[in-house]
């Protein structure tokens, strides 16, 4: 007989809380791990209620593992982090046959191989699952990590050990071996899992990929064990000894070691053969028994793979040739405008929900106003010029995990009252003018920081994963704080004064709905951790300046090393940037005049005309040229960066932020190389490697490669035919070497 909560003594209550914690934990486990549930839903609910009532009566008895706190605990909070010894990258995409031919040309041109020189590739299915990195030490599986952000993954070792395709122990393996591949679920296992869940009234998964991801990322490995996951090995990370000389042989080696490798992997000797194999795999797609979303091509020769290396997030030696996206027809109910962090007005289609490739879609992007009107960014007709109207039947598609898009419209079903869409010319969020600059496909709100939508989106970006990544401060919390009257966050600096302001506030955060002592303290601590130690590139990326993506932020950080370095360079380059802007405007006016006179405007791009229009001091010009010569930084990015730092309000907001932070200086990636931190320029013809390869090698060794010679140049590599750059370098007393000298310097080819 259960004692009523009011009648419990303190000692009894304590014992009862322990019993209930145990009972509920077991019930959760039994339910999720698919064993027969041990208690009914009603009993389960009653136990939870009783637990909560006892806790309410004796708050100090609440257990650290209280079942009350376990509702809605995100599954990802509990995984440890594992840094990847070798980054886990993604793949560039090809959609059309021409993209494949271009990939082949890029590879050849990087390596300096003629069109007809033999060059082999492997082609294999692209498995639609999630990637996993397995670490073996002396043949024993020691660690398994998800991809995470590519640099740091989640520790899912216990879960990976339950997957049958993953050997725990391997013979004759290199001392250190990281095997990479894809975790996936077969169609049959997926159907069975879903019907088991459906019978119990449980949650079903939208597709095998989600089921695989949900099953692998379980805090309780016994749940993973009960889900039939599989694994294909297709790549590797850190190795103490090479697996083989070619991709094909390396995959064979993985197979001998006991891994499943995909049986449809083939060696192809031309783009024709690649595309033939793609067609053959596509024809087998429906009968494979598992989801694939394309075919991956990889350069077979591993020495060539090493020479080709990587761009910031993708290898140069591989590409994914995707299958055409799945499509579906549905009705367009409305068009809403969303305002992004750079003020872009983006039209969003609100759709009658429809299933596309296993996922229910009810929103899709409509790109921009031209797209709705039936034109592309150059003004050419698309969809035979059909515009899109509210009420239309539209075709939507999804390619991989890309956001759904509207592809087409069915005029035969257009309702009589459907009227062309009028794209707003004022910002729906703040009422400021929304203008479209000549040559820009996008209409932007001119409200800047006064536009709440821009400010919120900027803040969300600021705390996002690639930027400050503050635990407990996500998009939802940003919205809450932005609207808060007593403890607002309206700009990035406000985040770092939150604790201090909270301390002086009567309405303390910890007393508010959804917050408590612990969660408030945790948030302040997470903010403080970032405040005291944040990488330069994350700060720069976090500012959300147009064109400054993660890769560009990294390039800039690497180039300038410190925040002050960047700031000084921008301030110095400002007059040149402004002249650029003015030249840009002048050119625009000229083009409009020319066009209106009916002549075809044949005007040089602004880059070449800018400084003919207005002379700028040499110092400013030098700084500007240094900026745009950084790999990955073009004039558009440089201008946008310069604008952000020149705008008084924005600059003040940036300064307030920087004053609060401790920013790490960026180190050159490999400082033990003889060219680390040096600025080098290549000129003339290189004979042993292409310009692209030379540049990539130099950058991998920590050098900065610039296109022009200036006082900052440390080294000029001059091949035959070198001209004005070599003369300028000689005048400036810059060290000049030839290609052979360079190859010796970097330790050989
Ligand atoms: S190779 C350095 N091969 O696709 C490149 N990836 O879009 C390593 N994937 O993150 C990847 N099947 O999760 C490779 N046969 C295959 C693949 C494959 C699926 C996934 C992988 C990767 C993603 C990139």
What would the pLDDT profile of 40-96 be if each residue is shown by its tens digit? 666 777 888 888 888 888 888 888 777 776 643 333 457 899 999 999 989 999 999
Tell how strand 434-435 and strand 152-154 pair up: unpaired
| Closest C-alpha among 644, 647, 708 to residue 679 | 708
Secondary structure class of 205 (helix, strand, coil) = coil
Residues with CB under 6 A from ligand 1: 89-91, 124, 126-127, 131, 182, 234-235, 296, 315, 318, 320
Which run of H or E residues covers position 536? helix 536-542
Pick the CATH number of 679-745 from 3.50.50.60, 2.30.40.10, 3.40.50.10190, 3.40.50.740: 3.40.50.10190
Judge whether residue 13 has pLDDT over 80.
Answer: yes
How far is residue 626's CA from residue 633's CA, in Å, rounded to a whole number? 10
Q: Which of 10, 26, 62, 126 is catalytic?
A: 126
Per-residue pLDDT at 463 exceeds 60: yes
Output the pLDDT for position 74.
Answer: 33
The beta strand positions in 300-421, using DSSP E, are 318-322, 326-339, 345-356, 359-365, 393-398, 405-410
Q: Which residue has the tokens 């840009």?
A: 584
* pLDDT tens per residue across span 272-281: 999 999 999 9
Residues 538, 541: Cα–Cα separation, whole Å: 5
Per DSSP, what are the bridge partners of residue 239? Answer: 177
**Would you state the structure tokens that stand for residue 634, as one six-digit string?**
């073009």
C-alpha–C-alpha distance, residues 358 and 401, integer Å: 12
Give residue 157 CA to ligand 1 midpoint distance, Å: 20
Domain edges within the chain: 1-67, 81-322, 325-446, 448-532, 539-664, 679-745
Whole-number percent of the chain with pLDDT over 90: 63
| Mean pLDDT within 128-135 | 96
Question: Tokens at residue 218, please?
Answer: 């379980």
Integer Cα distance of 729 and 710 in angstroms: 8
What is the C-alpha separation between 516 and 441, in angstroms, rounded? 47
Q: What is the per-residue pLDDT for 714? A: 93
* DSSP label of 293: E
Angle at 204 between CA 203 and CA 210, to 5 degrees: 115
| Count of all residues that appear for the chain in the document | 749
CATH code assigned to 1-67: 1.10.287.610
pLDDT at 668 over 70: no
d(CA 2, CA 741): 88
The CATH code for residues 81-322 is 3.30.470.30
DSSP for residue 449 = G
Q: DSSP secondary-structure letter at 712?
A: T
Cα-to-centroid distance, 333 and ligand 1 (Å) = 37
Q: Taking the domain 448-532, which CATH number applies?
A: 1.10.150.20
420 DSSP assignment: B
What's the CA gap between 708 and 682, in Å, rounded? 9
- Residue 544 φ/ψ region, left for φ over 0, alpha for ψ in the -120 to 50 degree band, beta for the rest: left
> For position 464, what pLDDT does the model report?
93
Instruction: Specify the pLDDT at position 37.
Output: 55
Q: Name the β-bridge partners of 140.
A: 137, 169
Q: Kindly give the number of the ligand 1 atom that is closest to the alpha carbon of 89.
A: 2
Q: What is the pLDDT of residue 599?
A: 40
Atom of ligand 1 nearest to the CA of 124: 15
Query: Which residue among 94, 127, 291 is best mutated to probe the pocket of ligand 1, counting the most ligand atoms within 8 A of its Cβ?
Result: 127
Query: Which atom of ligand 1 is the closest one to the Cα of 315?
Result: 2
- DSSP 8-state code for residue 434: E
The H or E element spanning position 735 is strand 735-737
Has 322 been annotated as catalytic? no
Q: Ligand 1: which atom is nearest the Cα of residue 314?
A: 2
Give the largest CA-CA distance in the chain.
98
Token match 């091949």: residue? 719
CA distance 491 to 496: 10
| Gap between the Cα atoms of 94 and 78, Å rounded | 37
Ligand 1, from 234, 308, 317: best to mutate by most atoms within 8 Å of Cβ? Answer: 234
Domain 325-446 has CATH 3.40.50.300: no
- In which region does residue 546 sit, left (phi positive, over 0), alpha (psi from -120 to 50) or beta (all else)? beta
pLDDT band at 440 (very low <50, low <70, confident <90, very high): confident
Strand boundaries in 636-718, DSSP class E = 663-664, 679-683, 704-706, 715-718
387: pLDDT confidence band, cut at 50, 70 and 90? very high
pLDDT of residue 72: 33
- pLDDT surpasses 70 at 320: yes
Ligand 1: nearest atom to the Cα of 262: 15
Confidence of residue 670 (pLDDT cuts 50, 70, 90): low
CA dihedral over 458, 462, 467, 471, signed as positive or negative? negative
pLDDT, greater one: 303 or 628: 303
CA 86 to ligand 1 centroid distance, Å: 15
For the chain, what is the radius of gyration of the CA atoms? 30
| DSSP element (H, E) containing 233 | strand 230-239
- Residue-wise pLDDT for 297-317, tens only, equals 999 999 999 999 998 789 999
CA-based nearest residue to 431, from 453, 415, 410: 453
Q: Which protein residue has the closest C-alpha to ligand 1 atom 13? A: 131
**Structure confidence at residue 435 as a pLDDT band (50, 70, 90):** very high
Q: How far is it, in rounded angstroms, from Cα 684 to Cα 240?
A: 39
pLDDT value at 573 more than 70: yes
**What does the pLDDT average to over 525-543?**
96
Mutate to test the pocket of ligand 1, among 121, 126, 313 (most ligand atoms within 8 A of CB): 126
Compute, in angstroms, the gap from residue 307 CA to the centroid of ligand 1.
20
Ligand 1 centroid to residue 234 C-alpha, Å: 8
- pLDDT mean across residues, the chain: 89
Q: What is the pLDDT of residue 1?
A: 64
Which of these, 359, 289, 286, 354, lies nearest to 323 by C-alpha position? 286
CA of residue 161 to ligand 1 center, whole Å: 21
User: Residue 323 carries which DSSP code?
Assistant: P
Residues pairing with 79 in the sheet: none
3-state helix/strand/coil string of 118-160: CCCEEEEEEECCEEEEEEEECCEEEEEEECCCCCEEEECHHHH
Nearest CA to ligand 1 atom 24: 90
């Amino acid at each position: 007989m259960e004692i009523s909560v009011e009648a419990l003594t303190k000692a009894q209550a304590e014992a009862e809380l322990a019993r209930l914690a145990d009972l509920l934990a077991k019930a959760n486990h039994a339910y999720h791990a698919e064993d027969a549930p041990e208690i009914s839903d009603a009993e389960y609910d009653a136990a939870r209620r009783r637990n909560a009532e006892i806790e309410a009566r004796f708050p100090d008895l609440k257990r650290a593992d209280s079942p009350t706190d376990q509702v809605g605990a995100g599954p990802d909070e509990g995984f440890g982090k594992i840094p990847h010894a070798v980054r886990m990258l993604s793949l560039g995409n090809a959609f059309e046959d021409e993209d494949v031919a271009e990939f082949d040309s890029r590879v050849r041109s990087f390596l300096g191989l003629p069109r007809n020189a033999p060059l082999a590739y492997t082609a294999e299915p692209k498995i639609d699952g999630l990637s996993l990195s397995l670490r073996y030490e002396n043949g024993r599986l020691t660690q398994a990590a998800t991809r995470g952000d590519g640099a740091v993954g989640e520790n899912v070792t216990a879960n990976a050990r339950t997957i049958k395709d993953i050997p725990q122990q391997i013979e004759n393996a290199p001392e250190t071996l990281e095997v990479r591949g894809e975790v996936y679920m077969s169609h049959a296992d997926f159907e069975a899992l879903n019907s088991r869940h459906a019978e119990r009234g449980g949650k079903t998964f939208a597709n095998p990929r989600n089921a695989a991801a949900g099953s692998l990322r379980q805090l309780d490995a016994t749940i993973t064990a009960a889900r039939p996951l599989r694994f294909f090995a297709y790549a590797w990370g850190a190795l103490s000894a090479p697996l083989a000389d070619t991709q094909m042989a390396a995959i064979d080696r993985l197979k001998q070691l006991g891994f499943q490798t995909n049986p449809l992997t083939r060696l192809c000797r031309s783009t024709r053969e690649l595309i033939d194999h793609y067609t053959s795999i596509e024809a087998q797609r429906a009968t494979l028994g598992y989801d694939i979303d394309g075919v991956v091509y990889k350069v077979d020769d591993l020495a060539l793979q090493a020479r080709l290396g990587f761009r910031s997030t993708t290898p140069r030696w591989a590409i994914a040739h995707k299958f055409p996206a799945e499509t579906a027809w549905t009705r367009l109910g409305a068009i809403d405008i969303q305002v992004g962090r750079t003020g872009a007005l983006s039209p969003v289609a609100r759709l009658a929900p429809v299933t596309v490739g296993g996922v229910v879609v009810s929103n899709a992007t409509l790109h921009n106003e031209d797209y709705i009107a039936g034109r592309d960014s150059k003004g050419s007709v698309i969809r035979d010029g059909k515009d899109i109207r509210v009420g239309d039947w539209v075709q939507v598609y999804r390619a991989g995990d890309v956001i759904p898009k509207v592809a087409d419209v069915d005029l035969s079903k257009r309702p009589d009252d459907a009227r062309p869409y009028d794209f707003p010319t004022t910002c729906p969020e703040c009422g400021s003018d929304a203008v479209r600059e000549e040559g820009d496909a996008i209409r932007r709100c001119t409200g800047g920081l006064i536009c709440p939508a821009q400010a919120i989106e900027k803040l969300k970006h600021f705390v996002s994963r690639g930027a400050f990544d503050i635990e407990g401060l996500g998009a939802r919390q940003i919205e809450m704080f932005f609207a808060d009257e007593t403890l607002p966050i309206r700009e990035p600096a406000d985040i770092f004064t939150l604790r201090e302001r909270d301390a002086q506030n009567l309405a303390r955060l910890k007393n508010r709905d959804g917050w408590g002592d612990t969660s408030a303290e945790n948030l302040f601590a997470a903010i403080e951790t970032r405040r005291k130690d944040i990488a330069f590139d994350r700060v720069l990326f976090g500012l959300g300046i147009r064109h400054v993506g993660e890769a560009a932020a990294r390039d800039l950080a690497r180039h300038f090393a410190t925040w002050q370095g960047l700031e000084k360079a921008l301030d110095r380059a400002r007059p040149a940037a402004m002249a650029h802007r003015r030249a840009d405007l002048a050119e625009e006016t000229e083009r409009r005049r020319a066009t209106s006179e009916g002549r075809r405007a044949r005007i040089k791009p602004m880059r070449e005309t800018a400084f003919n229009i207005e002379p700028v001091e040499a110092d400013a010009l030098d700084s500007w040229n240094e900026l745009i010569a950084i790999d990955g930084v073009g004039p558009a990015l440089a201008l946008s960066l310069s604008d952000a730092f020149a705008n008084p309000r924005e600059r003040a907001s940036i300064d307030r932020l920087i004053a609060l932070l401790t920013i790490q200086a960026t180190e050159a990636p490999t400082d033990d190389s003889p060219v680390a931190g040096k600025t080098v320029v290549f000129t003339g013809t290189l004979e042993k490697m292409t310009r692209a390869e030379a540049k990539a090698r130099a950058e991998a060794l920590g050098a900065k490669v610039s296109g022009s010679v200036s006082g900052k140049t440390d080294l000029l590599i001059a091949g035959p035919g070198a001209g004005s750059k070599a003369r300028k370098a000689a005048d400036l007393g810059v060290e000049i070497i030839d290609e052979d000298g360079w190859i010796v310097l970097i330790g050989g080819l």
